[in-house]
Amino acid sequence: MSAEETYYNVEVIQFWRGEVEYLRPHPLHWVIYVPTDPGVGNTYHLLGDTETYTVEFRRNQPHVNPDDWRGSHTMGRVAASKLALFEWNLASVPIMHNDPRWNSQNWVWDCLRRLRHQRFEISWELRQCDLQTKMCCLLEDWDFGRI
């Protein structure tokens, strides 16, 4: 009898980055997070700014800034045996430089699209605008103490 495959959730998590000035917040930083054990997981995200963006993979570690967490949404799951291929696909997503309209939210969405097209178990139910709305609602829930 074969052993049962282990699956991990694939989440989009957003983090607060402060304000440009009073009542003008920076865009929330989005990451792809795969919880691998209680309290730890793999975080995939952009570092830097529009001129220097690079991708960072943090494996089996807690969130860097848990106090800045502003909500998460599960988008699907990945088999443990497919994590290396999952990461290869994330590393293959192009990064746009020198475009002030492009940020971590765009990169996360591009990653989710790529994973879908590569037949990973990522939900097709949400469009980009739906995910943005969901994440905005999570921020509001956090503001009102609901999460």
pLDDT (tens place) for every residue of the chain, 147 residues total: 567 999 999 999 999 998 888 888 889 999 999 999 999 999 999 999 999 999 999 999 998 889 999 999 999 999 999 999 999 999 999 999 999 999 999 999 999 999 999 999 999 999 999 999 999 999 999 999 999
Res 30: pLDDT: 98
**Taking every pair of C-alpha atoms in the chain, what is the biggest distance, in angstroms?**
61
- Report residue 110 as tokens: 């591009």
Cβ neighbour number for residue 98 with a 10 Å cutoff: 9
Q: Determine the pLDDT at residue 57.
A: 98
Which residue in 70, 76, 69, 61 sits closest to 119, CA to CA? 76
CA distances from 120 to 17, 82, 112, 123 (A): 30, 9, 9, 9
Q: Residues 12, 35: contact at Cβ < 8 Å?
A: no
CB 93 within 8 A of CB 111: yes
Contact 92, 55 (CB under 8 A): no
pLDDT of residue 2: 63
What local confidence, expressed as pLDDT, does residue 1 receive?
54
Dig out the tokens for 72 from the structure. 């998460």
Nearest 5 degrees, angle CA 102-CA 31-CA 103?
Answer: 10
Residue 93 DSSP code:
S
